Amino acid sequence: MALPASFGNIIIDTDNYKHCHYPLYPPGTEYVSSYIESRGGEFPVTMFVGLQAFIRERLLKPITLEDIDEAEFVVREQGMHFNRENWMGILNDHGGFLPVEIEAVPEGTVLPTRNVLVQLINTDPKYYWATSFFETALLRAVWYPTTVGTISWLAKQAIREALERTSDNAHLLRFMLHDYGARGVSSQQSAALGGLAHLVNFNQSDTVPGILAAKKYYNAGNVSNSGPNSEHAGFCAWGREQEADAMRNMLRVMAPHGVALLLTDTYDHENAVKNILGKELREEIMNFPGLVGARPDSGDPVQVTADTTEWLMDAFGYEVNSKGFKILPPFIRCVQGDGITRESLPLIYAELERRGFAADNAVFGMGGGLLQHCNRDTLNFGQKASAVRVNGEWRDIAKAPTGASFKASKRGRLALRYVDGEYQTVARDSCPPEENLLVPVYRDGKLLKKWDFTELIANSEREVPESYYLDAVRPLREANRAAVAV
């Protein structure tokens, strides 16, 4: 559904209780500085992305008198206090723009968890409460695309490892994982943010909102590729006895496009691969002017990918590449888009390698496993206040709950340094300004730094220590050691 205008009102794009927080600070509070980080979680690193989309969509549009009126009605209706004077002040003193400065890590950067990613502070002491007020919207805008981008980045490292181990075509890396997640997410907005995050790592997507978001917010050019695929409705309509005719029709119709991905599990996947593709349609596939994909869409993804590759080799032959692994002819591949997750993908590559098959025999798509199998706790994202200035005196502050040590927060105004190959979050006054990697990106309604999508890609592809991705490639290495031992 299209979101009504009310959803764009940042005064009510928050938790209701935020409206009662401003009088809870000490008298004389002038500035509040807070930061966002991943406090650890399932992965050792984050690939930071998404902040610029939020700034351009939400913070470059001033609040209006109508927004204030609407918010007052909604908030008071819920039984919550609403300070109209605060918002009229922002309207009159700052033209409706939030008086806040935001600085952040360059988007696309991959760095270890528990480091500062975003830091913000109010720019007018009269509005000290503004820093934390829009935490709900800001944190949501950061944790989700960053988590999806990290899942995609780690998948990329597993694919890179597999290609380097068994393939002669490492240059295909950015074309090996397709985003099919649009139907599996909670909203179109999720599809947009998660989809653009994936495109930092790969050039393949059917998630149109993500493609549009990359173009709108990051000036992306030709950022994605797709190709003719099939669905069960079209094949089922021909009837079980005409399954071969349904596939033949697709080969004919899609020949001018040079790609035809044929569903093979409409009825009996093994029969479809061995007898329909491998025998009845063999000559037509071999003469197809482009790539034909055999696409299983059910079954155990580890076994079905390897089995399908093996059956295709039985039908169409194979060559042995320079690394000693079997590779299908260039006109046929296995296309696996079901059950692909960050856990299953390296296991699939391990099984392909165990059977002596090159990694580029198969290409993959991820749906829910890419865009939906995560939440804020996957990487334990949080925004916390770390410093306040009261009556001209700065105080470093932090929380330290005894019941959840990982929630202990950082103290003071922060900076991020890169020293001897390691990122370090340090006290701001201990870091020379020219060494601080946090870049001012927003201040008082103005975008200070505009990241281009090519910059995000370049940042994400910088060389990193092996420890960043070791867990993602471990199944491949363990499988290889086991095979050597045997």
pLDDT at 118: 98
36-91 tens-digit pLDDT: 999 999 999 999 999 999 999 999 999 999 999 999 999 999 999 999 999 999 99
pLDDT at residue number 2: 55
Domain annotation covers residue 253: yes
Report whether 39 belongs to an annotated binding site.
no
Same domain for 248 and 194:
yes
Q: Does residue 257 have a known ligand-binding role?
A: no
Note whether 338 and 388 are same-domain residues. no
pLDDT tens across 172-189, in order?
999 999 999 999 999 999
Tell whether pTM > 0.75: yes
**Domain membership flag for residue 235:** yes
Q: What is the CATH number of the domain that holds 461?
A: 3.20.140.10
**Position 138: which residue type?**
L
> Is 337 annotated as belonging to a binding site?
yes
Whether residue 311 lies inside any domain: the answer is yes
Question: What is the reported pLDDT for 405?
Answer: 83
pLDDT at residue 479, rounded to an integer:
75
- Asked whether residue 194 is marked as a ligand-binding residue, the answer is no
Q: Of residues 480 and 198, which shows the higher confidence score?
A: 198
Q: Are residues 362 and 400 in the same domain?
A: no
For residues 127 and 92, state if they share a domain: yes
Structural domain span for residue 276: 168-371
Average pLDDT over residues 280-303: 96
296 is in an annotated binding site: yes
> Is 412 within the bounds of a domain?
yes
Kindly indicate the confidence band of residue 3, based on its pLDDT and cuts at 50, 70 and 90. Answer: low
Kindly state the percentage of the chain with pLDDT values over 90. 92
CB of 238 closer than 8 Å to CB of 274: no
- For residues 460 and 151, what is the distance between their CA atoms, to the nearest angstrom? 13
What is the pLDDT averaged over residues 428-456?
A: 97
CB 383 within 8 A of CB 137: no
User: Is there a domain that residue 111 lies in?
Assistant: yes
**Does any domain span residue 411?**
yes
Read off the pLDDT of each residue in 436-443 and give the average, rounded to a whole number.
Answer: 98
Determine whether the annotation assigns residue 183 to a binding site. Answer: yes
pLDDT reported for residue 400: 86
- Pairing of β 439-443 and β 446-447: antiparallel
356 and 429 assigned to the same domain: no
- Shared domain for 303 and 390, answered yes or no, is no
Q: What is the pLDDT of residues 237-277, one digit of tens each?
A: 999 999 999 999 999 999 999 999 999 999 999 999 999 99
pLDDT at residue 410 above 60? Answer: yes
What's the pLDDT tens digit per position in 361-405? 999 999 999 999 999 999 999 999 999 999 999 999 999 888 778
pLDDT at 270: 97
Among the listed residues 161, 240, 163, 185, the one whose alpha carbon sits nearest the alpha carbon of residue 477: 161
DSSP 3-state of 336: strand
The pLDDT of residue 483 is 60
Which residues have C-beta within 8 Å of that of residue 456, sequence separation ≥ 6? 49, 107, 108, 200, 218
Same domain, 192 and 286: yes
314 is in an annotated binding site: no
Q: What is the mean pLDDT of residues 297-313?
A: 96
**Consecutive H or E run containing 34:** strand 29-38
Residue 253 sits in a domain of what CATH number?
3.20.20.70
Residue 9 domain-assigned (yes or no): no
My answer on whether 205 and 61 are in the same domain is no
Residue environment code for 424-461, b if the CB has 16+ CB neighbours within 10 A, otherwise e: bbbebeebeeeebbbeebbbbbeeeeebebeebbebbb
Q: Is 171 annotated as a binding residue?
A: no
As a whole number of angstroms, the distance between CA 143 and CA 300 comes to 31
- Please tell me the predicted confidence (pLDDT) of residue 480: 67
Same domain, 358 and 395: no
Looking at the fold, whether 461 and 403 belong to one and the same domain comes out as yes
- Residue at which a domain ends, from 371, 393, 422: 371
Whether the predicted pLDDT of 484 surpasses 60: no
Contact between 359 and 323 under an 8 Å Cβ cutoff? The reply is no
Quick one: pLDDT at residue 485? 52
Last residue of a domain, one of 317, 352, 371: 371
Domain count, the chain: 2
Answer yes or no: do 184 and 314 share one domain. Answer: yes
256-267 tens-digit pLDDT: 999 999 999 999
Which alpha helices (H) appear in 16-167, and where do they start and end? Answer: 51-54, 65-77, 84-94, 130-133, 135-166
Residue 153 lies in a domain: no
Range from 138-142, 317-321, 348-352, 477-481 carrying the lowest mean pLDDT: 477-481
Query: Residue 368, annotated ligand binder?
Result: yes
**Which of the four pLDDT bands, split at 50, 70 and 90, describes residue 468?**
very high
When comparing pLDDT for 6 and 374, which is higher? 374
Is 70 exceeded by the pLDDT of residue 34?
A: yes
**Last residue of one domain, picked from the residues 371, 389, 413:** 371
